[in-house]
Amino acid sequence: MVKRTINEVKKSAGQQTKLNPFELKYNRAKHKILGTKTVSAPCGAPGLSKKKAFENRARTLAVEWKERGKRNKIIDQRIGEGNGMVNNDECISKRFTAERLKFFNATNSELANDGEEKLTHKGRELTEVGKYDRIILSDEDDDDDEREGGNIGANIVAAAHFGGGIASSAENAFIKRRDIIAELIAKTKQQRYDKKLARDEREDATERLDEKWSKIRQTDAIAGFVKPVKDKSIIDRPEKDDYDHLLYELQMDGGKRGEASERQKTEEEIAHEEREKLIRQEKARLAEMDQDGSKETKRKLNDGNKEEGFMVRYDSSGVLMNAEKLKRGRIKIVRIDSSDENESCSDEMDEDSEKDDFDALVRDSGEVDLPPSSSKNTAINTETEVQKESESGVLPFVIDLPQTYENLKKVLDAQNDADCEIIIKRLIKLYHPSLREGNKSRLGRLFILLLRYYDDLSKTRVSKIVLFGYIARGLYYLMKFNVEHSARCMRALLRQQYALHARAPRQMFTFRFIAFLKLVSTLYPIRDAFHPVVSPTLAFACRLVSTARICNIKDIARMLLMVKMLSSFVEENKRYLPEVIAFLHGVFLMAVESEDNERCPAATFPISLPHRRMLFISDDCSSIEIPSQLDAVQVFDDNINSFEESNKNRLCVLNIAFTVLCRFSFIYSNIISFSIIFRPLLGLLSRLPRNQYPIQLLTELSALESYITAQSSRNSLKQLKRPVKEKKMLDMLEPRFEENYDIEKAHYTKNMAKKSKKVEIKQLTKKYKKELRGTVRELRRDNQFLNREKRQEMFENDKARKEKTKWLISTLQGQESDYKKNIYMKNKL
């Protein structure tokens, strides 16, 4: 027995090692080499290797190709199934134990379904989809889940649609069909009624059960059956935020229609409502004043109004009331400077730029046609009334439009700063262009008068800086109604100031031009590349910077304030102002200990001592506190001693100069010539006497220097030059000496030298190419295998389709032959 087994093993081993000689591969030498034996030996079995490769691909690639597009997987969760180590009895006992455990753990809602797999569809559980996404049928629809058949019987459908049998007569057929339809209608109504009764019974039963359940919960009868929860955080639900409420509204109220909103009011309607509101407020104010006054005062007022005889009133639509009792006033017609309103601003500027003057515009504004209710007496009365009301603290709501500059000046001088803006707003509302024809020209005349008042304030009342802001806002409100007219007035005022400057070009400017510059920046956009008002104003300001002579520290402070305002004009368009940079260079040159040969770029600074070092500080001022801003009232005061030359004022001027230089360096930080522009200034900053300055000024100075240095290095210009080629030196071979040289180990060192880095790289490159060729070959064979599988699958599908087609054709031919046979037999009979 043992010998037989051993022989069988040897025999099987011999059979496995036996190869087919026709499958072996032999390498035959192409050339015969002397001194070698020409023996051909097998080097491989290509047929066997191909067979193994094919079986491997059939086991891997073929399975993946057949299962492509399949994502489902069946998991066998039966206990003991497929496990050969567990017998049938143990499998039954384990299954029984698992079922019992499920029954005992069913009370815990959190752990009841741990052992079950949750089936999902598109990320949602199927139980939720069936619970909440169930389609609700209407009363007239039929429930297909509850019924087994249709509402119409099969006999009725067969008789109505397919016919059949031998009809008795046409009359009986008609009666029969009518009865069928009537029966069908009655049956349908009965079924709907039965469904309605069943639905009502279910709803009543549900309501009764809900009432019982609420009573049981109130009595705490089921408290003993429910397991108490120790951790309240498990049952506490998070509060809904705004997003949850919005989502709920979109889900529940998605079908509602949007409610219609009120129509937006037009500009004319808004202006009319504002005017009516002011008239009502004025009437209420007058009524309140009449109640407080005496009867005698009322009588005197009434007598005075009767004696005047020209009380004018307008209705809500702006039409004159009691026109027949009024005398027709004389109307003087004169030419208005403003041409057609539809013409462009640039054409008007070109036509009137040489002949219009600001004083001429003010004079012409007094000759424009007046409204019927205006006259000199009423204007004077209105001024006195406004003055009296301002003294009492209550402003009138209805104010007559001032016709002359003197009237406007009296009205505004009697008010405080904030009330001036209120008066202008009320005048705009009362005389809005949409209310009456001619109001646009009246508001344009008011703009001229108010602009003259603003200009006169800048000449005399420098201390009322807050009032300038209120007047500028009023001019902005008026400017919006006629931009071309306002631009022509501003250009006329600019020409007037330029004419004064041309008489004395070296004289320092006053606060009048600073106020005008601030007004231009308030009324018009300063970011445009060209503007008919902003661009000439900027050019005139640069001319003042380059021509005004510097005589003392006050002049430097004035110039710095204007230069600081000019920085806002070029902040967006990055326009380069060389006059400003030259002025700053001169300012910092006066703050250092300059030599005789050093000159300012501009000819406005003094060149003789001690005026050449006007801002140089020789004393220790480290303990002086520097104010952050200059006082404009002191700087533009005509008194010489208002801004004296002291170390504190010098430090304040230097602080403002540092701020202005920092702002312009930030504006010009992206231009190419930054380093060339600010390099001279950087050299002057390094020469300032730092030991005399306080810590606050030193901090700003160091930050400014570091910023300019960093930007200069980033925007440095490089000169163009030819590329210089590096000369390559010859590799000089030097002998290698070994300290411990051994003659016997010479061959060893020679072999070690072969294993150098280049040899390793060469060997690795060879191995890489070899593996790459093998990989490409295997990928090519994989593609061939997949193409073969595709062709085989296509052939099988075509074969199956052809067989089914053949079967269908044969079946149809049999049916056709039977049909023809029946017809033939029928005709034959």
Statement to judge: residues 704 and 811 lie in one domain: no
With respect to residue 618, please indicate whether it lies within any of the assigned structural domains: yes
pLDDT value for 769: 96
Q: What share of the chain is helix, strand, coil (3-state, %, to 5)?
A: 60, 0, 40
**Residue 823, H or E segment:** helix 757-828
Q: Is the pLDDT of residue 91 over 80?
A: yes
Q: Is the pLDDT of residue 356 over 60?
A: no
DSSP 547-574: HSPP-SHHHHHHHHHHHHHHHHHSTTT-
Q: Averaged over 416-428, what is the pLDDT?
A: 81
Which of 173-177, 352-356, 409-413 has the largest mean confidence? Answer: 409-413
Q: Averaged over 499-525, what is the pLDDT?
A: 88
E strands, 366-462, are none
| Residue 80's pLDDT band (cuts 50, 70, 90) | confident
pLDDT value for 302: 52
User: Residue 614: which of 634, 637, 643, 638 has the closest Cα?
Assistant: 643
Task: Map residue 576 onto helix, strand or coil.
Answer: coil
pLDDT value for 334: 36
**Residue 320, H or E segment:** strand 320-321
Residue 606 per-residue DSSP state: -
pLDDT value for 757: 77
pLDDT in tens, 779-798: 999 999 999 999 999 999 99
More confident residue, 172 or 71: 71
Q: Is the pLDDT of residue 263 over 50?
A: yes
Specify the amino acid at residue 291: Q
Give the C-alpha separation, 427 to 371, whole Å: 14
Statement to judge: residues 675 and 806 lie in one domain: no
Q: Averaged over 147-159, what is the pLDDT?
A: 59
Contact 533, 491 (CB under 8 A): yes
pLDDT value for 236: 56
Can you read off the two tokens belonging to residue 599? Answer: 């000159």
More confident residue, 345 or 282: 282
With respect to residue 686, please indicate whether it lies within any of the assigned structural domains: yes
CB neighbours (10 Å) of residue 754? 8
Contact 519, 471 (CB under 8 A): no
**Alpha-carbon distance values, 604 to 395, 544, 550, 597, 633 (Å):** 51, 10, 6, 16, 24
With respect to residue 661, please indicate whether it lies within any of the assigned structural domains: yes
Contact 390, 419 (CB under 8 A): yes
Q: Averaged over 718-731, what is the pLDDT?
A: 81
Can you read off the two tokens belonging to residue 290? Answer: 């009449």
With respect to residue 581, please indicate whether it lies within any of the assigned structural domains: yes
Q: Which residue has the tokens 């700063």?
A: 417
pLDDT value for 258: 56
Statement to judge: residues 584 and 706 lie in one domain: yes
Weakest mean pLDDT among 368-372, 377-381, 492-496, 620-624:
377-381
| Residue 42's pLDDT band (cuts 50, 70, 90) | low
Enter the pTM of the model: 0.48
pLDDT in tens, 460-487: 877 777 888 888 888 888 888 888 988 8
Which residue, of 714, 745, 774, is where some domain finishes?
714
Query: Average model confidence (pLDDT) for the chain?
Result: 75
Statement to judge: residues 807 and 697 lie in one domain: no
With respect to residue 298, please indicate whether it lies within any of the assigned structural domains: no
Give the C-alpha separation, 295 to 626, whole Å: 64
CB neighbours (10 Å) of residue 505? 12
Which residue, of 714, 740, 771, is where some domain finishes?
714
| Residue 265's pLDDT band (cuts 50, 70, 90) | confident
Cis amide bond preceding 694, omega within 30: no
pLDDT value for 348: 41
Weakest mean pLDDT among 409-418, 655-664, 688-697, 788-797:
409-418
User: Residue 356: which of 541, 451, 490, 457 has the closest Cα?
Assistant: 490
Contact 492, 357 (CB under 8 A): yes
Q: Is the pLDDT of residue 34 over 60?
A: yes
Give the C-alpha separation, 537 to 552, whole Å: 26
| Residue 292's pLDDT band (cuts 50, 70, 90) | low
Q: Is the pLDDT of residue 344 over 90?
A: no
pLDDT value for 439: 81
What domain range is 637 assigned to? 537-714
Task: Map residue 43 onto helix, strand or coil.
Answer: strand
- The pair phi, psi for residue 531, each rounded to 5°, is -145, 140
Contact 333, 368 (CB under 8 A): no
Name beta bridge partners: 44: 25
Contact 816, 809 (CB under 8 A): no
With respect to residue 684, please indicate whether it lies within any of the assigned structural domains: yes
Statement to judge: residues 818 and 682 lie in one domain: no
pLDDT in tens, 696-718: 888 889 999 999 998 888 877 77
More confident residue, 51 or 6: 51
- Burial (Cβ within 10 Å: 0-12, 13-18, ≥19) of residue 436: middle
Which of 250-259, 299-308, 341-350, 407-416 has the largest mean confidence? Answer: 407-416
Statement to judge: residues 561 and 662 lie in one domain: yes
Q: Averaged over 759-769, what is the pLDDT?
A: 91
Which residue, of 697, 714, 731, is where some domain finishes?
714
Q: Is the pLDDT of residue 673 over 70?
A: yes
Percent of the chain scoring above 90 in pLDDT: 13
Give the C-alpha separation, 81 to 84, whole Å: 8
Statement to judge: residues 678 and 572 lie in one domain: yes
Task: Map residue 120 onto helix, strand or coil.
Answer: strand
Statement to judge: residues 562 and 674 lie in one domain: yes
Q: How many domains does the chain have?
A: 2
| Residue 134's pLDDT band (cuts 50, 70, 90) | very low
Give the C-alpha separation, 522 to 477, whole Å: 11
According to DSSP H, which parts of 668-745 are helical?
Answer: 674-686, 695-714
pLDDT in tens, 299-330: 444 554 444 444 545 454 444 455 444 444 44
More confident residue, 451 or 144: 451
Give the torsion sign (CA, 93, 96, 100, 105). positive
Which of 168-182, 297-311, 598-612, 773-787 has the largest mean confidence? Answer: 773-787
Q: Is the pLDDT of residue 229 over 90?
A: no
With respect to residue 725, please indicate whether it lies within any of the assigned structural domains: no
| Residue 616's pLDDT band (cuts 50, 70, 90) | confident
pLDDT value for 437: 84
pLDDT in tens, 59-77: 999 999 888 877 776 777 7
pLDDT value for 1: 42
With respect to residue 625, please indicate whether it lies within any of the assigned structural domains: yes
Q: Which residues touch 93 (CB under 8 Å, ≥6 apart)?
A: none
pLDDT value for 94: 86
pLDDT value for 768: 96
